Amino acid sequence: MIYFIIFLVLIVLIIFFFVSIYNALIRLRNQVKNAWAQIDVQLKRRHDLIPNLIETVKGYMTHERQIMENITKYRSQAMNAQTVGEKAQAESLLSGALGQLRVQVENYPDLKANQNFLALQEELTATENKISFARQNYNDQVLMYNNKIQMFPSNIVAGMFNFKEEEFFEIKDQAEKEVPKVSFN
Amino acid sequence: MWELIQSNRRKSLILFFGMGALLILIGYVFGSFYNPESGGAVGVFFAIILWMILSTISYFAGSKILLAISGAKEVTKEVHPQLYNVVEEMKIAAGVPYFPKIFIIDDPAPNAFATGVKPENSAIAVTSGLLSTLNRYELQGVVAHEMSHIVNRDILLMTFAGMMLGAITLMSEVFFRGLYYGGGSRYRSKSSSKNSGQGQIIIMILALVLAILGPILAQLFYFAISRKREYLADASAARLTRYPEGLANALEKIANSSYKLRSANKVTAPMYIVNPLKREGMKLADLTSTHPPISERIKILRALQQGVSYKDYQKVFEMIYGKKEKIIPDSALKESIPVAPVMGLANSDKSFSPVDAKREANDAVMKLNNYKFINCKCGVRIKIPPDYNQPIVVCPRCGTRHQLG
């Protein structure tokens, strides 16, 4: 009888343990999803900002057509990207093109003084920052989630219920990693 | 993060009831002092009422009152887009669903604080002096620090602690006033009658001791709470921005400013990022400081070269001071994420011009005071005071006539 009770208690404990791990996994996975949605929101903001930017700059710069065309092209590429990897790739190209614009603008003192342009510049900086902070948050969440999936004993539960590791939002280009900011000055 | 919040909530509750108990004790002793037979009960009654009123007020309107006495005005994105954006960036970095309200205090002294009992209606207030002295990265560091106070629920704890301090100070003030205006003479005439005994003398001494020491002890307690919170918020800010240098530079600039914040007082002082009532320079290791010395906070932040996680912060603190004091709660230290810092950003931020920043801050204050802004095609910005009553404004540079709607 006493062994039976001990056995029962053990079973209940194990079930309780499993449930809590399972719930933790679900919570972490949802946090990852939510963090990803945050990046998406910011990327969309950046895409929405680009037509404004082009409109403002167009009147001033006639020579930088190529840059403008690139920005437009990468923007549509980025908007059509499907997987995390593709998206990271396209967004890094877009960041690069926007960075080129930053270099060019130095030649146009008039443009710098324009209030609309200054406002737009702040928006662009903010958007780039928001993207990188959203990415930072996403990667933190993915790291916690993946750790949980790989570590004992939660890896047993993760295996049973088919929890899959998530991909990091990584920028392959080294230069892009170092400069997460846009400034037109 | 979650355990941190839980422990702060627990502490707030303990504080809330501990404060109630203390107030009731003080009420009883003060009441007995004046009337040994039934005064105790009356004192307790008044203490409970005071406690309830103060709790209700500080829970529902505490942050509003704080903001009002600091002269803070709420701003929208149009008033200062950069400030607004930086707050949004930190909200994203912290991964929280709520967006704090943003306030500007028109004061040349650079400082900032966060308030609000619940994160959903929390607020971050910065002075216009802060906006005109800090560059974007430094502002980000300060906002991250305030955001951490909100995320960790420090502001709840601080609100209740501040309220306790206020209540105890108020009660002993009333007690002393009563003593001064003849309450004591009534007491003396009674005590000269036969039924006074040793108990009465004890109550009398106790009341005096409580009246003198109560406010002091409450203040020390309040300051002790706020001191520890500052380290944690600095650590969180470094973790959120991944850039400890930004906050370090900001603290340095704030400490070096020669302006004095006009609206600060004893109760609001511990809420600011840097104590507005004390000048840096004296060694603040004593009990009466509301904040750790700025120089120490800067030193720790600058030493965060390897990583900016909570663990790194604790490690650096122990390394610098050679003592094992727990600055970061255990629950935060368990966090397993290695966090690498970004270095040398602000030095590369040549875009910051103090003149522009000053103009931006001035513009923000003007917008708060209902000035209208017109951007002329020629790049000139025309600022129109609210009492301007002409229908047309002429641009001084290009002569364009602007219709006023």
Residues B272 and B381 in one domain: no
Residues B339 and B398 grouped into a single domain: no
B149 annotated to a ligand binding site: yes
Strand, coil or helix: what is A126?
Answer: helix
Identify whether the C-beta of residue B250 lies closer than 8 Å to the C-beta of residue B234: no
Residue A181 pLDDT class (50, 70, 90 cuts)? very low
Q: Do B345 and A119 touch (CB under 8 A)?
A: no
Q: Are residues B259 and B394 in the same domain?
A: no
Say whether pLDDT at A61 is over 80. Answer: no
- Measure B89 CA to nearest chain A CA, in Å: 5
Per-residue DSSP letter, B403: E
B390 neighbors B373 (Cβ within 8 angstroms): no
Q: Is B344 on the interface with A (CB under 8 A)?
A: no
Is B230 flagged in the annotation as binding? yes
**Closest Cβ–Cβ partner in A110, A129, A143 for B337:** A143
B239 and B376 housed in the same domain: no
Nearest to B85 among A38, A122, A136 (CB): A122
HSE at residue A157, side-chain half, CA atoms within 13 A, is: 19
Task: State the burial class of residue A72 (Cβ atoms within 10 Å of its Cβ: 0-12, 13-18, 19+).
Answer: middle
Give A-chain residues touching B242 at CB under 8 angstroms. 136
Find, in chain A, the residue whose alpha carbon is nearest to that of B90: A133
Of residues A110, A119, A130, nearest to B89 (C-beta):
A130
Q: B290-336, pLDDT tens digit by residue?
A: 677 788 889 888 888 777 788 888 888 888 877 777 777 776 776 66
CA–CA separation, B157 and A151 (whole Å) = 36
d(CA B107, CA B130): 9
pLDDT single digits (tens) B71-125: 899 998 888 999 999 999 999 988 888 899 999 999 998 999 998 888 888 999 9
Tens of pLDDT, residue by residue over A91-101, are 888 887 777 76
Q: Does B285 touch chain A (CB under 8 A)?
A: no
Is there a single domain that holds both residue B362 and residue B384?
Answer: no
- In this complex, is the C-beta atom of B208 within 8 Å of any C-beta atom belonging to chain A? no
- Is residue A14 over pLDDT 60? yes
Same structural domain, B88 and B132:
yes
pLDDT at A113: 63
Residue A35, CB half-sphere, CA atoms under 13 Å: how many? Answer: 28
Q: Are residues B269 and B401 in the same domain?
A: no
> Which of B3, B91, B92, B337 is the best mutation test for A, with the most CBs of A within 10 A?
B92
Quote the domain boundaries for residue B344: 1-369
Q: Is the same domain home to B303 and B404?
A: no
> Does residue B344 share a domain with residue B205?
yes
Tell me whether 0.85 is exceeded by the ipTM. no
Contact B115, B155 (CB under 8 A): yes
Domains contained in chain B, number: 2
Are A149 and A158 contacting, i.e. CB atoms less than 8 angstroms apart?
A: yes
Statement to judge: residues B166 and B26 lie in one domain: yes
CB atoms B81 and A123 under 8 Å? yes
Fold of A2-177: de novo design (two linked rop proteins) (1.20.1440)
B296 and B390 in a single domain? The answer is no
CA B235 to CA B148: how far, in whole Å?
9
Which residue would you say has higher pLDDT here, B6 or A42? A42
Same domain, B187 and B101: yes
How do the pLDDT tens digits run along chain B, 405 residues long? 556 677 767 776 777 777 778 778 888 888 887 777 777 888 888 888 887 888 788 788 878 888 888 889 999 888 899 999 999 999 998 888 889 999 999 999 899 999 888 888 899 999 999 999 998 889 999 999 999 999 888 888 787 777 777 778 888 888 888 777 755 444 544 444 445 567 778 878 888 888 888 888 777 777 777 777 888 889 889 888 888 888 999 999 988 888 888 877 767 777 788 877 765 444 444 555 667 778 888 988 888 877 778 888 888 888 887 777 777 777 677 666 666 677 655 454 556 677 777 878 888 888 888 888 887 777 677 888 888 887 888 877 777 888 887
CA distance A63 to A81: 30
Q: What is the pLDDT of residue A8?
A: 93
Within 8 A of A126 by CB-CB distance, chain B residues are 81-82, 85-86, 88-89
Q: Residue with structure tokens 């009152």? A: B65
